[in-house]
Amino acid sequence: MPQGLPHKLRRVFIVQAVLAVFAVVVVLYGSGSLARDWMTAERIRAEARAFWDGRANDPAHPVPGTATVHAWFVPASGGGNRAVPDSYTSLAPGLHDLRIAGVRQRLLIDERRDGRLYITMSFALVDRVATWTLFIAVLLASLAIAAVSWLSYRIARQMVLPVTQMAGEVARWDPRAPDLDAIDPGQLTGEAGREVRLLGDALRGLTERTQAFMRRERDFTREASHELRTPLAVVRVAADMLRGDPETPPRMQRSLSRIQLAAREMEGVLDAFLILAREDVPGPDEEFELLPMVSLAVEGAREMLTDKPGVVLSLHEEAAPRLRGSSRAMAVMVGNLLRNACFFTESGRIDVVVRRNRLEITDTGIGMDDEVLERVFEPFYRADQYVGGKGMGLAIARQLSERAGWPMRIDSVAGQGTTVTIEFGAARAKH
């Protein structure tokens, strides 16, 4: 069963939980700091109010003094209970935050008509209580968020799991024989809710329509193959008989050669279309000799050059590899590439080189510029200088190369020629 989606879902919940904990920490720290500052400010102001109220009734009322509170009063007439630290006298009236010996303190300077009151208050105990309160609150909130996230993840996973399993089953389907029972809601793990059942029904309906379409396509391909091959065979046999008839005038021999050549081209195109339409390229169990096939294709291509005496077609046998794959696909590829080379080469050479791990077809034809090379594999594409071709040869060869697993590369220079390379690799070749 594919685990990609559950893993992504788990990461989403983990990220959400971390963000939630971070948000809780920020909110608790911010609110705790604000509450602490407000409470300490109110506490020190209450001490100041108590002093002024007491002094109103008793001019000798003492200033506050505890383990955490220290105060100084400087009467307007001068004097005072004791010297005020110099660092305080330069400050303006109001609340001030101080840090003395690493301990946070607050200083209130309250100036009235009778004099100025300095009160400092240490909040080390308050800070420790606030820190531990924040830590405990964050810990409890984190545990709660983790528990809720885990439960939410389990519930969401149970809801997503059937969809994930269904996707995995569909990915493993053979298009020609899909296992519809595998996506039945009763066969899936997790909670197959209404949405899962609707998705399963939609996939089942799509699969049935696709199978019906494939059956119609196969029937059409089979019938079209029979209907097209029969007249082509009649044309070829009739042309062979006429060419072999001693009473056929010599001036007709050339026309008969063109008929035979056109019939062979049509058979090659038909083979390519049938392979692509049926998707029946054999697997790697088929082994075949490459060199005899290429030799046969080269001999067939020589007939295309009867009207071009200035073109020399040569086969260079540097190796004799045995390949695994589709012999039909390779034959169609080589035939299409040779037809292209013969059609677009008016003089010079066409060299076919069979190497250990690749096949090269090089011509001295008109070549292609970069703009044409970018679109050369598009079906029916023909640039102005290539008018006359069918626009399908390279497109068909490229599709067959991708399906059979033989990468094809084209190197071309406008006005100089083209080299097409079919690579089959040492792993696919046997000597």
Residue entry with tokens 């899936």? 188
pLDDT for 5 equals 53
d(CA 161, CA 9): 10
Burial readout 232-254 (b: 16 or more C-beta within 10 A, e: otherwise): eeebbeebeebeeeeeeeeeeee
The end-to-end CA distance of the chain, in Å, is: 41
Q: Work out the average pLDDT over 400-407.
A: 85
pLDDT tens-digit profile of 231-251? 878 887 888 888 777 877 877
pTM: 0.49
pLDDT above 60 (res 338): yes
Residue 311, helix vs strand vs coil: strand
Looking at the DSSP assignment, which residues form a beta bridge with residue 224? none
Residue entry with tokens 């389990």? 154
What confidence category does residue 210 fall into, taking pLDDT thresholds of 50, 70 and 90? confident
- Cβ-contact 421, 411 below 8 angstroms: yes
Residue type, 269: V
Q: Considering only CA atoms, which of 17, 19, 4 is closest in space to residue 157?
A: 4
- Cβ-contact 423, 402 below 8 angstroms: no
pLDDT for 379 equals 66
d(CA 137, CA 143): 10
Q: Which residue has the higher pLDDT, 258 or 3?
A: 258
pLDDT tens-digit profile of 217-228? 777 766 776 677
Q: What percent of the chain is helix, strand and coil (3-state, nearest 5)? A: 60, 15, 25
**What is the percent of the chain where pLDDT is above 90?**
13
pLDDT tens-digit profile of 111-124? 888 888 899 888 77
pLDDT for 421 equals 95
Q: Considering only CA atoms, which of 253, 251, 227, 225 is closest in space to residue 239?
A: 253
pLDDT above 70 (res 175): no
Looking at the DSSP assignment, which residues form a beta bridge with residue 100? 103
pLDDT for 385 equals 47
Q: Work out the average pLDDT over 323-341.
A: 86
pLDDT tens-digit profile of 30-72? 887 788 788 888 888 998 899 888 888 888 888 888 878 888 8
pLDDT for 189 equals 62
Helix (H) or strand (E) holding 380: none
- Cβ-contact 352, 316 below 8 angstroms: yes
pLDDT above 90 (res 212): no
Task: Name the phi and psi angles at 409, rounded to 5.
Answer: -130, 140
Residue partners of 45: CB distance under 8 A and separation at least 6: 108
Q: Which residue has the higher pLDDT, 137 or 273?
A: 137
pLDDT for 282 equals 43
Q: Give the Cβ contact number of residue 32 at 10 Å.
A: 15
Q: Which residue has the higher pLDDT, 9 or 355?
A: 355
Task: Name the phi and psi angles at 364, rounded to 5.
Answer: -110, 40
d(CA 7, CA 20): 20
Record the tokens describing residue 57, joined without a space: 């009734």
pLDDT above 90 (res 350): yes
Residue entry with tokens 């001030």? 96
Q: Give the Cβ contact number of residue 353 at 10 Å.
A: 18
Q: Work out the average pLDDT over 291-314.
A: 89
d(CA 302, CA 304): 5
pLDDT tens-digit profile of 62-108? 888 887 888 888 887 766 555 788 888 888 999 998 877 777 788 89
